[in-house]
Structure 1
Amino acid sequence: MIKKFAIKHKLKKHFKSGLVAGSYNAKVLFLLEEGKFCKEEIAVAFTESFGEAYKLHFINFTEDHKKKKEFPQNYFTKTDFNLFGQLKNEETKTLLKKDFEYLFHFYEQENNYLNLVAAQTKANLRVGINKVKQDLVHIQLNLKEKNLPLYFKEAFKYLEIIKKSA
């Protein structure tokens, strides 16, 4: 209960101070909710639309502690946050210190743990599916029936327009 309150409080502080920008460095971060989206399918669909010039990074949130034990560098759970809402997972903290050109959110329901990680990420442009909190993204796109190729095709179109106008 206290942890949930602390997470929500930290999230509000991030919204007040604004999201941190990254740089145009061809690095992309994907935040995934385990079991809802497939990392490999996302990587293939992204590469088809954006090309192979980007270095892809993934952070997965899971409720399954066995999954985290198998792949500690790729997963985080609720237990990776302390009582004050601070992230304890060193691999995830290291990744969050990097700058990213794009951040893509892939989770279908409100998840304060993923939202807090997203708020702490340094990314120039943030893209989310229509169920992601609007304060965390610059662009929200509707993902119908998990049609990832179409989703990334549309994202590419909008992000290119934004980059040209910046």
Structure 2
Amino acid sequence: MILKVFKEKSNQKYINKLLSARQVAVSNNKMNTVGVILSVSEFSDFESFRLFFKSLGIQAAKTKIIAFVEDTKDSNELWDTYFNPKDFGWKGKINNIDLQIFVDTKFDVLISYYKENHLELNLITASSKANFKVGLTNEDERLFDLMIDVKPKEFSVFKDELKKYLTVLNKL
């Protein structure tokens, strides 16, 4: 139990290091590739995101959705990729190959669709090489370039707001 606390502190220190070194350089390029991070305990409807991206004219091959599950028994084989707390080591080390590929992908937009403060979700968001990061309001505002304050169950409101802001920012 005490090792778990030290591991969490180690990972939080790594997140703080990443966020303090982050250079915000948002480009004016149109949105072509999108990554989504979900917390299954809050929202698990992958198809809603797929339909939303299709309506924006983004090809399915240019999107990647990953889901965080507390317990692997809650996972679903239809999901692209899922991860759990066991996929993380000390000092921000990621032990899941699919998750590491997701983090290293340079998405035009990363959507972190979770409201609860989970160290693992924040670690993936902070580590991501995405150009523009969108999230629901969270405890650590340094994680995102744009925050939309809605509950995860209010997906239609989120869609409308995101589309509005992406249009204003010339991403669509």
TM-score, L = length of structure 2: 0.81
- Unmatched runs of 5 consecutive residues or more in structure 1: none
Match of 2:41 in 1: 35
Alpha-carbon distance change, 32 to 19 in structure 1, aligned in 2, over 3 angstroms: farther
Match of 2:94 in 1: 87
Alpha-carbon distance change, 46 to 152 in structure 1, aligned in 2, over 3 angstroms: farther
Distance 1:70 1:91 in 2: 14
Match of 1:105 in 2: 112
**Contact 2:53/2:59 (CA < 8 Å) preserved in 1?**
no
Percent of counterpart pairs with the same letter? 27
Confirm whether residue 13 of structure 1 aligns to residue 17 of structure 2: yes
**Contact 1:20/1:120 (CA < 8 Å) preserved in 2?**
no
Distance 1:143 1:69 in 2: 26
Alpha-carbon distance change, 108 to 78 in structure 1, aligned in 2, over 3 angstroms: same
TM-score, L = length of structure 1: 0.84
Distance 1:72 1:6 in 2: 30
- 1:68-104 C-alpha deviation (Å, 9 max, x unpaired): 5957961111111113331110111012111101111
Match of 1:154 in 2: 161
Alpha-carbon distance change, 46 to 146 in structure 1, aligned in 2, over 3 angstroms: farther
Residue range with higher mean Cα deviation, 27-36 or 139-148? 139-148
- Unmatched runs of 5 consecutive residues or more in structure 2: none
Quote how far apart the aligned CAs of 1:40 are.
Answer: 1.5
- 1:13-53 C-alpha deviation (Å, 9 max, x unpaired): 011111576874611000100131121222223433x2344
SS at match of 1:109: coil
Confirm whether residue 75 of structure 1 aligns to residue 75 of structure 2: no
Match of 2:126 in 1: 119
Quote how far apart the aligned CAs of 1:155 are.
Answer: 1.1
Residue range with higher mean Cα deviation, 98-107 or 129-138? 129-138
**Structure 1 segment 33-72 matched on structure 2, within 5 A:** 33-37=39-43, 38-48=45-55, 50-53=56-59, 55-67=62-74, 70=77
SS at match of 2:90: coil
Distance 1:145 1:67 in 2: 19
Match of 1:128 in 2: 135
Distance 2:125 2:111 in 1: 9
Superposed CA RMSD in Å reads: 2.6
Quote how far apart the aligned CAs of 1:109 are.
Answer: 1.0
Return structure 1 stretches of 4+ with deviation > 4 angstroms: 19-25, 67-73
Distance 1:21 1:51 in 2: 25
